[in-house]
Amino acid sequence: MLKINFDFPNEFCDLYNSFNNSEIGKKLLEITGIHRSQLDICTFSKNYFLSHTGDISIDANANVGNQKNPLNYICESTKSHIKLNGLYILWNYLQKITSKEEATKLIKDLIIGRYYFHDSVKWMEIYCSSVSTSHLMLSGRPYGQLHSLPPKRADSFIAQVIEYAMDLSQEQAGAVALADLVVNYAYYSYNEKLDEKRIENDFQKFVHVTNNSFRVGADSPFTNISFFDLPNLKNTFSNHIYPNGKKPIEEPYLSEIIKVQKIWMKFMSKGDPKQNGLPYRFPVSTINIYVDKNKNNEIVDKEFLDFISHLDITKFNIYITDDKAALAMCCFYKNQKVLCKNNSEVLYLTFEELEKVNKNNFRIFHNGNWVKGKLIKLPKNNKKLFKIVTVNNKEIIVTEDHINPTLNGDKYTYELTTNDYLLFNNLKLDGKVNSKLTYEQGIFIGAFLGDGYLDKYRIHLGLNEEKYKKLEKYLKIALEQWKIDAKIHLYKKDKVWNTVIYSKKLVEIVKEWVKGSKTSEKELNLNILLESYDFRKGILDGWYITDGGNRNRIYTTSKKLVESGEILITSLGLQSIINIDDRVGKIIINNKEYTKNYPVYCIRFYNPKRRSYSKIYKIKNNSIYFKIKSIEEFPNNEKWVYCFQMDNEEEPYFTLPNGIITHNCRFTNKVDDFIKMRFDSFGNGGVNIGSCRVNTINLPRIAFEVNGNLEEAKKILLKRIDGCCKILVAHRLFIKKKIEEGFLKFFNPLKWLDLD
């Protein structure tokens, strides 16, 4: 007898051999497809020609059937070896994210059946994807032994799509969804003025080739296509552009798409004429229908509905979408203050207040910029709200599934602990209004904030000698820059150097930037954010000179001023902390009794010069993170929550007035977002998305294990979810490595697919 060794390390051999110690263990190896008898190619060959192929395959599926041919033989004979080697590779990669002991346990769990790792024979490939045929329109087929130029005719486009589907099928374990096939084919059919029969023939070519068993393992390529009603069509392809610069959702192409869809749907509805009209196995065809939830789920496109009503609907999958679909309702409490602007002013309002104001040319503040986005409001349902407070006393009140950028990556609220650090704004905002306001003029406004008051024609600054000497030169320069010919009158009394400037023009300038006449009512006009960085820096410095203490602390009795001051500091790319001494009434200072009528606010701005500061903040990759001080549930009876949805999906973040950078809400209140983000194995969804791998938890097994104990079942399920996640992460690390090596060409070097 000839024996062949496998060069696995001893520890993995021990893992495998631990199942050979019992009959149950051997049976589990057989079910998995890696029993010693299944690794024997001689035994397999004898069985292959005597049995039904599906009975002897360790990876039986709908494509295997009873076919026998040389390609199928070669593939089936090596599946056991590939699967065993795949478990070994997975075991290795699990050790990169967890201990060797847990990696061993998880591989055993796969063999035992606690998890089912789908298509484990094809572990070197991704699972499935929805891809765009637009790459072919622009680049042709720039790979393989014989490259193809971009197609110029409908028939050459279909030919390249067929080759594309064939090539993708060799590098994917599951489905290939060609979501925009109809839309892009219509570009060519319209330009060539093709008749109905030619359009049907082109599609017939595609159908017949995709049902041929040429894939690795003698499978046919698992292909999916989608058909859309008018609302879905317009929303899904709203940003789609043809090579000639035209949009498919505009005429004349829109009518052509509808025409092509009808021809192709009629063809699919008839089924295979040689099989008495049975459905074609591939492509799996899905009809996407949009309903209006505000009108009792009424179908919007009545003409489309009437057309498909005359088809054999059993040949299609039906997919219903609506404009209320929510993928992740990560939102804020109504009283959360936000910072935005419209075409006339800067807005500092609660989410609830913002709902009622003009949003023309609407922009949202984010880390030194004004970015596009929109306000959304959704039902809170049964989600809990949590108040999160950082060590620098910044707070947010958010839903349990809100996404928070942290030092260790994005985390949901329910995942946060007081060991986490939240991301803060650190970039300065450059104003766009060209008022040419200067640093010195900012100093003047800041000094007035701290120690100033005014009457009809005069500005008064109540300074002391030290403050006056620091400010004098700046005040004089500012007056010159404003072209105000006025003297600075100085009235000294005891330690007070009362500084008075007579100028009606100056009074009007100060009123423009500072609201409120009393010390406890002052606040900044937030349109300062539209002005230059130098002007705003001057305001902070002038305020600090007059009302400042030591170590960057500034004091005020005005709640509005401390709020607008916080925003000023944030706009300068700095971070702050606010403390409140809310004692009022009789107080004793230096053995003297005083009456304190207002709380005193102390705002301090940080000027980080260190990479970290005693569990207060940390700096990583030039971003600053402050530690969470507390997380507590926020009791409420609110029906609604709010958030922003940012236009830039590559940077889905915005910055709150307190400096916290947070994730936008992933609520998708339009069907276009819903379709673009959703995808399943029937081809429903958008393009360039998919699944790296599917790993299923064996729920019936848990039920047997706990014998009716629900609480124990919950505990086990949580552990299995954690294990399931680790298996998927380990496999993803392997795939990522193969992509970097150029093993999967559509990821690298072509960049037509993206793992992230």
What is the percentage of the chain residues whose pLDDT exceeds 70? Answer: 90
Residues 153 and 235 in one domain: yes
Q: Residue 48: pLDDT band by 50, 70, 90 thresholds?
A: confident
Residue with tokens 């008022």: 435
Last residue of a domain, one of 651, 667, 683: 667
Q: Burial level of 287, CB count in 10 A (0-12/13-18/19+)?
A: buried
**Residue 721 maps to a domain:** no
Residues 586 and 655 in one domain: no
Angle between helices 70-94 and 10-17 (to 10 degrees): 110
DSSP 286: E
Residues 651 and 610 in one domain: no
Report how far residue 541's alpha carbon sits from residue 439's, in angstroms, rounded to the nearest whole number: 9
588 pLDDT higher than 60: no
As given in the structure block, the two tokens for residue 439 are 């640093």
Residues 214 and 304 in one domain: yes
Collect all residues with Cβ–Cβ distance below 8 Å to 442 and sequence separation of at least 6. 534, 535, 536, 537, 538, 539, 540, 541, 542
Q: 176 near 223, Cβ under 8 Å?
A: yes
DSSP 639: S
**Alpha helix (H) ranges present in 452-501?**
465-481
Residues 635 and 684 in one domain: no
Report how far residue 313's alpha carbon sits from residue 299's, in angstroms, rounded to the nearest whole number: 16
Mean per-residue pLDDT, 466-475: 95
Residues 281 and 188 in one domain: yes
Residues 616 and 626 in one domain: no
- Choice between 90 and 751, residue whose per-residue pLDDT is larger: 90
Report how far residue 464's alpha carbon sits from residue 548's, in angstroms, rounded to the nearest whole number: 13
755 pLDDT higher than 90: no
Is pTM, for the whole model, over 0.85? no
Report how far residue 395's alpha carbon sits from residue 268's, in angstroms, rounded to the nearest whole number: 57
Instruction: Write the pLDDT tens digit of every residue in 97-136.
Output: 999 999 999 999 999 999 999 988 888 888 888 889 999 9
Residues 294 and 342 in one domain: no
**Residue 628 maps to a domain:** yes
**Residue 395 maps to a domain:** yes
Report how far residue 690's alpha carbon sits from residue 685's, in angstroms, rounded to the nearest whole number: 9
Report how far residue 748's alpha carbon sits from residue 705's, in angstroms, rounded to the nearest whole number: 44
Residues 297 and 167 in one domain: yes
Identify the pLDDT of residue 602. 95
Mean per-residue pLDDT, 540-553: 94
Q: 200 near 146, Cβ under 8 Å?
A: no
Instruction: Write the pLDDT tens digit of every residue in 20-46.
Output: 999 999 999 999 999 998 888 887 777
Residues 443 and 376 in one domain: no
**Residue 28 maps to a domain:** no
What's the order of all strands across the beta sheet hosting 600-606? 553-556, 600-606, 575-581
N- to C-terminal Cα separation, the chain: 49
Last residue of a domain, one of 609, 632, 667: 667
What is the tally of structural domains in the chain? Answer: 3
**Residue 97 maps to a domain:** no
Q: Residue 49: pLDDT band by 50, 70, 90 thresholds?
A: confident
Residues 265 and 406 in one domain: no
**Residue 315 maps to a domain:** yes
**Residue 65 maps to a domain:** no
Report how far residue 734's alpha carbon sits from residue 122's, in angstroms, rounded to the nearest whole number: 13
Identify the pLDDT of residue 171. 87
Q: Residue 538: pLDDT band by 50, 70, 90 thresholds?
A: very high
CATH number of the domain that residue 349 is part of: 2.170.16.10
Instruction: Write the pLDDT tens digit of every residue in 160-192.
Output: 999 999 899 888 888 888 989 999 999 999 999
Residues 132 and 258 in one domain: yes
**Residue 23 maps to a domain:** no
Instruction: Write the pLDDT tens digit of every residue in 357-403.
Output: 888 899 999 999 999 999 988 877 778 899 999 999 999 999 988 98
Mean per-residue pLDDT, 690-706: 91
Identify the pLDDT of residue 84. 94
The 3-state DSSP class for residue 647 equals: coil
Domain that residue 146 falls in: 128-325+674-691
Instruction: Write the pLDDT tens digit of every residue in 405-437.
Output: 999 998 989 889 999 999 999 999 988 777 889
**Beta strand 592-596 with 617-620: parallel, antiparallel or unpaired?**
unpaired
As given in the structure block, the two tokens for residue 11 are 């520890």
594 pLDDT higher than 80: no
Question: Whole-number mean pLDDT of the chain?
Answer: 88
